[in-house]
Amino acid sequence: MNQHNYMAKSPLLRSFGYAFKGFKAAYTERNFKLHLVSASLAIITGFISQLSVVQWCIILICIAGVLTLELINTAIEHLVNLVSPEYNETAGKVKDISAAAVLCFSIASFIIALIIFIPRLYTLYFDPLYACQG
C-alpha cells in the first residue's frame, strides 16, 4: 500500500485535511485576515517586550479565542446564507449575534494586550535603569 492510499483512507488524516480546507476557506474572509494581522502584531510585540511564559500563554489564549470565534462566526454566516438566501430578520439576528460574540472577545483581548504590553514596553523603552542593564 503506498503512502497516498493510506492518507486517502485514514479518517484522522482526512479530518485534518477538512480542517485545513476550513482554514483556506476562512482566509478568504476579510475579518479573518484582519484578525491574523492583529495576531501577528501581538506576537511580534510579545517578542519585542520579552513576555514571561504566563504572559505568552495569556496572549496565545486570546489569539486562539478570537480566531476560533471568527471561524465559528464565518461558519454560522455561511450556514445562515445557505438556509435563508433571501432576507430574513431572524437570520440577520443570528448573524449579528455571532458577530457580536467575536467583537466581545476581541475587545476583551485588546484590553488584556494593553494591560500586558504597555508596562513591558514602557519599561523596555523609557525606564533608564532598565536601559542601563541591557
Q: Which residue has the cell 461558519?
A: 75
Indicate the pLDDT class of residue 132, thresholds 50, 70 and 90: low
Indicate the pLDDT class of residue 102, thresholds 50, 70 and 90: very high
- Written as one letter, the residue type at 17 is G
**Phi and psi torsions of 52, nearest 5°:** -75, 170
Q: Which residue has the higher pLDDT, 116 or 7?
A: 116
pLDDT score at 1:
45
Q: Determine the average pLDDT of the residues in 83-102.
A: 97
Indicate if 29 belongs to the active site: no
pTM, to two decimals: 0.86
Q: Determine the average pLDDT of the residues in 12-32.
A: 94
Q: Is the pLDDT of residue 68 over 60?
A: yes
**Alpha carbon separation from 38 to 16, 27, 32 (Å, rounded):** 25, 14, 10
CB-based contacts of 112, cutoff 8 Å, min separation 6 = 58, 59, 62
Q: Determine the average pLDDT of the residues in 101-126.
A: 95
SS3 per-residue string spanning 62-115: HHHHHHHHHHHHHHHHHHHHHHCCCCCHHHHHHHHHHHHHHHHHHHHHHHHHHH
29, 70, 77, 86: which is the annotated catalytic residue? 70
Give the chain's domains with CATH numbers: 29-133 (1.10.287.3610)
Indicate the pLDDT class of residue 133, thresholds 50, 70 and 90: low
Q: Write out the three cell numbers for 44.
A: 511580534
DSSP state of 50: T
